Structure 1
Amino acid sequence: MTRSDKGVPEKVAWVLVRDNRVLVTRSHGRDRFYFPGGHREPGESDSETLVREIAEELRARIDPTSMVHFGTFEIGEGHPEHGPFRMICYTADHRGELTPSREIAEKAWFRHTDRDRVSAVDELVLTALHESGWLT
């Protein structure tokens, strides 16, 4: 698992909004949904991580030149879910259908009202999207 300079576990995530809903995925054996993405491999940049993870999870190709940092979200030490944890979120264009791979049980398009179905850090992103007017 990738960690920040301060030892906080980190994930690079893709934020894709369409029609006032955002793409989320659920892995096999999990109840909660998460933003697609994952942890950096040693020496990887955020863009390299996102390109690799989205290809692995959804068989789509991220255009790294279109990546825009949406925000960095963190839950703190002692959070009941699993703090501390940091998620670095980017919007980006893609090519190809969003087809879940074997590691993904399900993809869905969530509104802000679905925030109780995601992890704590993902809920922070849903709220930020709602407050910015991207989600209803």
Structure 2
Amino acid sequence: MSSSDRLIRIAAALLTDSQGRLLLVRKRGTESFMQPGGKIEPQEEPGAALLRELREELRLEEERKSLAHLGTFAAPAANEPGFTVRAEMFRLVSDARPQPAAEIAEIAWLSPDATATVTLAPLTRDHVLPLWRSGR
């Protein structure tokens, strides 16, 4: 298996509300909280993939113009040992009320001044939290 076979391409959101809280999600049957988002389908644009995932997993209807691309980040996959996730990360500020759906078991809001008391996926811990806290 080549290294590209062990790569999972995703689109994910650094999603905050107007109070600056960060939204995290946990999928059914897993321990780690992570960014909302998911796998990018072949020939799918990353922003479109993220909007699709937000609709399917959280019942959020957002517009493409609301997404600001923050860059591409890689980290070990939280739920698939031996795999790496490569995330196209987008900032989204929304006061819509997410509703867990599809494979999402739980959502959590993290306040800017709080320390995470839940298990975090490597991408969230190593890249998203520093981005969020830096205000970038």
Report deviation, 1:47: 1.6
Report deviation, 1:70: 2.0
Q: Distance in 1 between matches of 2:14 and 2:85?
A: 17
Q: Distance in 2 between matches of 1:93 and 1:114?
A: 20
Higher mean displacement: 92-101 or 120-129: 92-101
SS at match of 1:128: helix
Quote the RMSD (CA, aligned, Å). 2.6
Q: Percent identity?
A: 31
Report deviation, 1:72: 2.0
Contact 2:34-2:123 at 8 Å conserved across structures: no
Report deviation, 1:82: 4.1
For normalisation by structure 2, the TM-score amounts to 0.77
Partner of 1:128: 131
Opposite residue 32 of structure 2, the aligned amino acid is R
Report deviation, 1:84: 3.0
Partner of 1:9: 8
Q: Distance in 1 between matches of 2:135 and 2:103?
A: 31
Contact 1:61-1:95 at 8 Å conserved across structures: no
Relative contact order (C-alpha < 8 Å, sep 6+): which is higher? 2
Partner of 1:97: 97
Q: Distance in 2 between matches of 1:50 and 1:84?
A: 18
Report deviation, 1:40: 0.9
What is the aligned residue count? 125
Report deviation, 1:32: 0.8
Q: Runs of 5+ in structure 2 lacking a partner?
A: none
Deviations 1:55-75 (A, max 9, x none): 000001121012101232212
Contact 2:16-2:93 at 8 Å conserved across structures: no
